[in-house]
Structure 1
């Protein structure tokens, strides 16, 4: 089993908990409100604020080019969303720490995976009443490149991580999910 499959299996409960936390079901029956959206953006902002710099620092050596790290920064995009929604930016409360580049890869798996869902959410909400003035900077971050960017990430992950490192990668993913589910 490749590490991406391993992660998918072992983080499913966290993924479901995040969907519940954000009322994701309401997105598809068009009862999702601007307040719901502000909650998702605010929480994801705090997650990125407290983790992105540390993830990128941990991965800069071996993975910078392979993962095209330069084009994966999302904090500046979500800051534009905050401004558009008139949400006041906050300062980092407890910057997450990753004990290795493998933990950082696991955390990045959560963030990159969320761009797949984000793309779908942006499309759906752009057709939902009340969202006509919203620009989806974070959720639409890769636009038509969403598929290829995810494929690249998964290929690097599966190509570089050997089985004895799976638990370390999973540990990083769990760390980030736990933060996301508990931050407020």
Structure 2
């Protein structure tokens, strides 16, 4: 089993909890509101504000392989905050990543949300009330979303030895827990 398969299997409960928290089911039956969207953007902003620099700092050794310069999302979600007239705030608690393996696990959560975010952006762009929404964060990779995910997953699977799977999982769980409790 690859580390990406291990993460998918062992974070499913967190993923499902995040979908429930954000009322994701409402996206596809077109009952998702702008207020629901603002909650997703604000919560993801707090997650990125408290994790992106820490993750990128710990993953400096993979900067080229992971194309880290093309993966920065904080400036994009800040544009969404501004367009939605939401305040920039800080979270009430901190996130600590102890190693580059934990940082890879945290990045798995963010990159996975980007994959899902692309689907969300497409769906919401066809939903009433979202005509003026720009989707800077959710549409960040545009037509390159699949390729960016594939690059991340291949790098993750190639770089992480089986004896470090639990450490990578720890980072993913930390970020999911932060995301689920940040409000």
Interval of TM-score (by shorter of Structure 1 and Structure 2): over 0.9
SS for the counterpart of 1:16 is helix
Provide the residue aligned with 2:180 in structure 1. 181
Once the two structures are TM-superposed, the CA of residue 96 in structure 1 deviates from its matched residue by 1.5
Q: State the aligned residue count.
A: 183
Q: Tell me the equivalent position of 1:8.
A: 8
Match of 1:21 in 2: 21
**Alignment check: 8 A CA contact 1:108 1:173 kept:** yes
> Could you tell me whether the CA contact under 8 Å between 2:65 and 2:155 is conserved in 1?
yes
* Whole-Å separation in 1 of the counterparts to 2:41 and 2:121: 12
Alpha-carbon distance between aligned partners in 2 of 1:114 and 1:84, rounded to the nearest angstrom: 21
Counterpart Cα distance in 2 of 1:85 and 1:3: 37
Counterpart CA distance in 1 for 2:17 and 2:90 is 25
Counterpart for residue 85 of structure 2: 86
**Runs of 4+ residues deviating >3 angstroms:** 91-95
For the residues of structure 1 that align with 2:23 and 2:92, how far apart are their CA atoms?
25
Whether the 8 Å contact between 2:91 and 2:182 is mirrored in structure 1 is no
Alignment of 1:65-104 (within 5 A): 65-91=64-90, 93-104=92-103
Contact 2:48 2:73 (8 Å CA) reproduced? yes
Spell out, residue by residue over 1:116-139, the C-alpha distance to the aligned partner (whole angstroms, 9 max, x if none): 100000000000000000000000
Q: Which residue in 2 is equivalent to 1:39?
A: 39
Give the C-alpha shift of residue 92 in structure 1.
5.2
After superposition, the CA RMSD in angstroms is 0.7
The unaligned stretches of length 5 or more in structure 1 are none
Q: Which residue of 2 aligns with 1:115?
A: 114
Q: Which runs of 5+ in 2 are unaligned?
A: none
* Alignment correspondent of 2:159: 160
Q: What is the deviation of 1:68?
A: 0.3
1:94, distance to aligned residue in structure 2 (A):
3.5
The answer on whether the counterparts of 1:80 and 1:137 sit within 8 Å (CA) in structure 2 is yes
